Amino acid sequence: MSQTPDISIFSPTFLANPFPLYQQLREQAPVFWSRELGAWLISRYADVKMLLTDERATPDQKAWSGYPELKNSAQPTEHVQWALDATLLLCHGAQHARMRRFANTPFQSQGCGRIARVTEQVVHEVLEGFSGRKEIDLLADFSAPIRIKVMGRLFGAGFKPEEEEFLVTGTNLALGFLEPSLAPEAISRNEGALRGFRALVENVIRRGREAGAQDSILGDLLAPNREGDRLSDEEVLSLVFSFLLAGTEANGSLITMGVLLLLEHSAQLAHLQREPDRYPDAIREILRYRSFTKFLPRYLKEDIPLHGSVMKQGQIALLLFQSAFRDPETFENPDVFDVMRKRQHELLAFGAGPHRCVGERMAEIEAVIALREFFKRFPKATLRGDEADWVKHHMLVAVPRSVPVVPVLLS
């Protein structure tokens, strides 16, 4: 193990600017045991990519040495256990292959056309609502309504007002079950959040069935595949849960990050205003430069030697995406935000290998339309307040809080 001094990912210094510490790790301890987290920190791009596709490392938390204690916790864990078994992100083997075949359908060419059509409608409606306003809250007024309304319409049922309110904060809380923790308060919080989230998913499926689920993601999941096979009711519940959990939070975070970065880099925004066809390239650069995923855990199914250390079976390896995407061995001038950057390396923001996110195209389509139309309508928008204030909602996702970074002056 490296003798590099331990670091705290919860310290104000790290949260304010983690990149100097990431550089220290890449240079001095690319495989670093964090006593604070009880996990290995993997900071170089090549190593992160390797562990995303290595069969010796799995997203399945049941391979973690602490899982038996979690399962036998005195705290109720019914919904946590269900989520660990149900989400597409964590299942593997034959179950994962079967589920993924059905999960891919809504994101093929016809489905992407539907996503673009719905997103155009929602973004237009949201922007029309800003008529006469001089200032908006970027999260509450723009990215949150887009991510929630788009997802609701794509499922063919829409969300009730109380469900929309729940998704604004409840999605982030529900994602907490992905954090490997045995703390009673964390287990209790995750159980409560997932209980509410599962109830919402069940209601969305019920209303979608009643409405006929035509031309919708739910309709795609309920239909038989080419071989005549169908998903069971429990499998449909699992995939809708996975889509809502990953899609609403990640897509909204990407839109928020994108607007903030372009407001902070006016010269880069000017490139896009001259060449709006480059917005897909800009989305890739936004994901690289300020990835909304800080850490992604992998659980070791067997010992893995790497850079002089041996990561043991049952331990956790945290893949530091934000560090990997600033690795100078992979990216030229990695600390420069450049929307014209050439595509020379695979972007790992949505994973790699068999567990690469099926909703990657949806996130890109939503973000391209949202950013392009926002800056077309408000080319002179400015950020009111200080630079983005990064906070830890939970260890996997970094999003800006509503104060003070979100107020945006429209003209």
Please report, as a single letter, which amino acid is at residue 56: R
Residue 242 CB contacts under 8 Å (≥ 6 apart), including other chains: 86, 87, 88, 89, 103
Please check whether residue 323 is in contact with residue 26, taking contact to mean a CB–CB distance below 8 angstroms.
yes
Report the residue count for the chain. 411
Residue 306 CB contacts under 8 Å (≥ 6 apart), including other chains: 31, 42, 47
Task: Tell the residue number behind the tokens 């630079």, with chain if given.
Answer: 387
Check residue 343 and give its pLDDT: 81
- CA dist 208 and 152 (Å) reads 10
- Cα separations (Å) of 126 from 121, 150, 165? 9, 11, 16
Q: Are strands 407-409 and 382-383 parallel, antiparallel or unpaired?
A: antiparallel
Nearest to 292 by CA among 316, 315, 321: 321
- CA dist 18 and 5 (Å) reads 15
* pTM of the predicted structure, to 2 decimals: 0.89
Task: Tell the residue number behind the tokens 């600390």, with chain if given.
Answer: 335
> Between vectors from CA 167 to CA 162 and to CA 168, what angle results, nearest 5°?
100
- CA dist 268 and 68 (Å) reads 50
What tokens does 113 get? Answer: 């056309």
**Residue 67 CB neighbours (<10 A):** 17
Mean pLDDT in order along the chain per 10 residues (411 residues): 60 81 93 92 96 92 87 75 79 82 86 93 96 88 91 84 82 77 81 87 85 82 84 88 81 89 94 95 94 87 96 96 95 95 84 84 94 95 63 46 56 70
Please report, as a single letter, which amino acid is at residue 146: I
The DSSP line for 151-201 is HHHHTTS---HHHHHHHHHHHHHHGGGGS----HHHHHHHHHHHHHHHHHH
